[in-house]
Amino acid sequence: QTPEVRNWLRGVCSGRVVLGANCYADGPLFVRVSMAMDAIIADLVENLKEKPVLAYLCTPTDAHVCTASSKQAAQDNLRKAPAWQPMLSAIMKFAKMGLAPNRVKDDQSSSLPVVDAIVKEQGPNYCLAKRLQHWRAILSRSKGSLVSSNVAPATATASVVSNKSFALAYKGMHHFKPMEVFQGETSNAVMLGLLVNDLRNPLSAGRPETALQ
C-alpha cells in the first residue's frame, strides 16, 4: 500500500508538514517498512510545493560521529569504572563497544571520533533499516528540507524488552554509570522537546542553511 499512502499524503498535505518515520517491525520486515517509508518521503520531498520537515528517531545502538568532549567524557568514565566491570567483561567475553579505532575526516582533514555502539544481537536488518534513515536524512537536508534527526536514549519499549537478553541487560544497566534506561513516557517528552527545538531554533543543526562541522 505504499503508493496509496503516498497519494493520500500528497492530497492532504498543504503548507509545511512534519513527516515522522517511526514505524517498526521485527526482522526483515523492518527493512521492508523502512524502504516503504523512504520511498514515500523521497517522493514528497521532491513533489510537495513546500519542502516537508523530516523527523527521525536515531538509535543509540549504532555508530555515530561524536564530539571531542563526549569522547573525553567516555574515557573518563571508563577510567573511573569499578574493577569488577572490566573483569566481568573479560570473563563473559562481552562484545566490545566504544570509541572505534577509525576516524572520520572532515573537509579540513581534521579527525572526528566515532563511537561504535552497534549491538550485533539486533541483527543486520535493524542496522540496514536505520542506515537507510540516516542516508535519507542527509540527502533530504542537502535538497533543502529541515531534518530533525536526534539520537533517542535507551528506552524500555515493548519491542526491546520482549527480547529476554535485552530485558535482563536493561535491568542491570544502572550498575554501569552513567548509563540509564528511560521509560517510554520520558523519552517521548525529551524527543518531542528536541523536535520542537529543531523546528523553532534558527541555529538548529537540522536546518539546511546551518553550516555543519
pLDDT at 102: 59
pLDDT at 113: 83
C-alpha span between 137 and 86 (Å, rounded) = 37
Cα 133 → chain centroid: 9
pLDDT at 136: 94
Secondary structure string (H, E, C) spanning the chain: CHHHHHHHHHHHCCCCCEEECCCCCCCHHHHHHHHHHHHHHHHHHHHCCCCCEEEEEECCCCEEECCHHHHHHHHHHHHHCCCHHHHHHHHHCCCCCEEEEEEEECCCCCEEEEEECCCHHHHHHHHHHHHHHHHHHHHHHHCCCCEEEEECCCECCHHHHCCHHHHHHHHHHHHCCCCCCECHHHHHHHHHHHHHHHHHCCCCCCCCCCCCC
Segment 118-141, tens digit of pLDDT: 888 888 999 999 999 999 999 999
Segment 141-175, tens digit of pLDDT: 999 999 999 999 988 888 888 888 888 888 888 88
Cβ pair 149, 58 in contact under 8 A: yes
How would you class 198 by CB atoms within 10 Å of its CB: exposed for 0-12, middle for 13-18, buried for 19 or more?
buried
Ranges of residues in the chain with a pLDDT under 50 are 95
**Which pTM value belongs to this model?**
0.81
pLDDT at 58: 92
The residue assigned the cell 571520533 is: 113
pLDDT at 158: 83
pLDDT at 86: 77
Q: How many residues are recorded in the chain?
A: 213
pLDDT at 99: 54
